[in-house]
Amino acid sequence: MKNLFLFCRSGYEKDCAAEIQQRATELNVGGFVKTNINDAYVIYQCFDDNGADTLVKELALSSLVFARQMFAAGELLSDLPEQDRVGPIVASLAALSKCGELRVETPDTNEAKELSAFCRKLTVPLRQGLKKSGALLNAESDRRPIIHVCFIGPGKAYAGYSLSHNSSPHFMGIPRLRMAADAPSRSSLKLDEAFGAFLTKEEQETRCRSGLNAVDLGACPGGWTYQLVRRGMMVAAVDNGPMDPKLMETGQVKHYRADGFRFEPPRKNVYWLVCDMVEKPARVAELMEAWAINGWFKEAIFNLKLPMKSRYKEVSVILETIGAILTENEIDFKMQCKHLYHDRDEVTVHLWIFPEKGVSYA
């Protein structure tokens, strides 16, 4: 297949396009980008007929900042007949065999969501047709490729596949998280999503467990602190503003009325550092670098607020700078960055210092 379909947030198509153009070029998969503003998706059309197949194998979705999900797709199926939508879609997927799941999706826009009811209705007969053709297994399997059919408009769809080990487990790449009634703010969902995006369930059990110590810089009113407390951690909440009274009643939070940029942890056994401050991204990055060089945390999750223009370029420069400074200081690390569903004009970074040492202290 020659098209790579990438889901992204509406308004971030240019950033997603710039990123896939660069990353595909690095893998020697030539092509060009097709996108429209606010469509919430990007098409990377490869020059080689099998270019998209190469990308879904060699380009890790987890390494892309602005793409929520991606799949290799054939040509746009347009003017699908109302009397038979299933037939042309099944025919276009004739080269696929024994896939484990079907997802009939739309981009994340209000216009596309109007097709959601139709997509749900189409899923059953389409699944039957794909099973009959052999493209889909009779029983779902999370170890086999996933068939994607994404309707971008009435009678218009891209059909293709993703590899289960290099794909978001979520429909449209969007996790469905519930806002807890007692959470101090909606920002709480950002950290909840971040833990799920950067750590597997098994990793969360060992690295987000009860007894670990954490610091939340810019904590007020406690949206991110709430997620740390919920996981049983002891939290130093740093902010000149007030904290949620219910959080303070848990006995797991100590409130430091201080500037997050000047705070030094009194005890050096901090495992998690989290930070969601409204500040210039370069300044936040410098703060994270300083904490890493001082050895004041083991893992960090922090947000970088984005500029209005050249967002991919800005993020790339900041991440490269963080990496260069840590390397200069002989600090081994792993770093990931994602534009999460619950992020708006910001990206979320996960930084793990000396990962080979594991969970070294509580």
Active-site residues, by number, are 305
Could you give the dihedral angle defined by the CA atoms of residues 159, 97, 133 and 86, in that order, rounded to the nearest 10 degrees?
-10
Q: What are phi and psi of 146, to 5 degrees?
A: -105, 130
CA distances from 251 to 114, 230, 254 (A): 47, 12, 8
Which runs of E-coded beta strand occur in the chain? Answer: 3-7, 31-34, 41-46, 69-73, 101-105, 146-153, 156-162, 213-217, 234-238, 253-256, 272-275, 299-305, 333-338, 346-353
| CA 283/CA 46 separation, integer angstroms | 38
Is residue 187 annotated as involved in ligand binding? yes
Q: Smallest Cα–Cα separation from 177: which of 163, 204, 197, 162? A: 197
Question: b/e per residue, 29-56, with b = 16+ CB within 10 A?
Answer: bebebebeeebbbbbbebeeeebbbbbb
| CA 231/CA 252 separation, integer angstroms | 11
CA distances from 82 to 127, 133, 137 (A): 17, 21, 26
Is residue 223 annotated as involved in ligand binding? yes
Q: What are phi and psi of 212, to 5 degrees?
A: -75, 150
Taking the CA atoms of the chain, what radius of gyration do you get in angstroms?
22
Is residue 222 annotated as involved in ligand binding? yes
Task: Note whether 299 and 272 are within 8 A (CB).
Answer: yes
Is residue 53 annotated as involved in ligand binding? no
According to DSSP, the residues that pair with 73 across neighbouring strands are 3, 160
CA distances from 138 to 45, 98, 100, 145, 305 (A): 32, 9, 8, 14, 46
Is residue 220 annotated as involved in ligand binding? yes
Is residue 175 annotated as involved in ligand binding? no
Structure tokens belonging to residue 224: 């991110």
Is residue 221 annotated as involved in ligand binding? yes
Q: What angle do CA 122, 158, 124 make, to 5 degrees?
A: 15
| CA 13/CA 145 separation, integer angstroms | 26
Is residue 345 annotated as involved in ligand binding? no
What residue numbers does the annotated binding site for S-adenosyl-L-methionine cover? 187, 220-223, 239, 259, 276
